[in-house]
Chains A and B, each alone.
Chain A
Amino acid sequence: AQSVAQPEDQVNVAEGNPLTVKCTYSVSGNPYLFWYVQYPNRGLQFLLKYITGDNLVKGSYGFEAEFNKSQTSFHLKKPSALVSDSALYFCAVITNAGKSTFGDGTTLTVKP
Chain B
Amino acid sequence: DAGVTQSPTHLIKTRGQQVTLRCSPKSGHDTVSWYQQALGQGPQFIFQYYEEEERQRGNFPDRFSGHQFPNYSSELNVNALLLGDSALYLCASSRDRRTNGYTFGSGTRLTVV
**Chain B 83-113 near chain A by CB (<8 Å), digits 1 or 0:** 0000000101010011111111111010000
Task: Contact check, A44 vs B43: say whether CB atoms are below 8 A apart.
Answer: yes
With a cutoff of 8 Å between Cβ atoms, the chain B residues found around residue A103 in the complex are 42
Residue of B nearest to A34 (CB): B101
Task: Contact check, B99 vs A43: say whether CB atoms are below 8 A apart.
Answer: no
Given A94-B99, A98-B50, A98-B97, decide whether A105 and B42 contact each other with a Cβ distance below 8 A. yes
Task: Contact check, A98 vs B31: say whether CB atoms are below 8 A apart.
Answer: yes
Q: Does B71 contact A (CB under 8 A)?
A: no
With a cutoff of 8 Å between Cβ atoms, the chain B residues found around residue A94 in the complex are 99, 102
Chain B: minimal CB distance from A65 (Å): 13
Q: How large, as a class, is the contact surface on chain A?
A: 20 to 34
Q: How large, as a class, is the contact surface on chain B?
A: 20 to 34
Task: Contact check, A32 vs B104: say whether CB atoms are below 8 A apart.
Answer: no
Residue from B35, B41, B103 within 8 A of A104 (CB atoms)? B41
Task: Contact check, A97 vs B55: say whether CB atoms are below 8 A apart.
Answer: yes
Q: Does A96 contact B (CB under 8 A)?
A: yes
**Chain B 27-50 near chain A by CB (<8 Å), digits 1 or 0:** 000010101000011111100101
Task: Contact check, B97 vs A97: say whether CB atoms are below 8 A apart.
Answer: yes
With a cutoff of 8 Å between Cβ atoms, the chain A residues found around residue B100 in the complex are 49
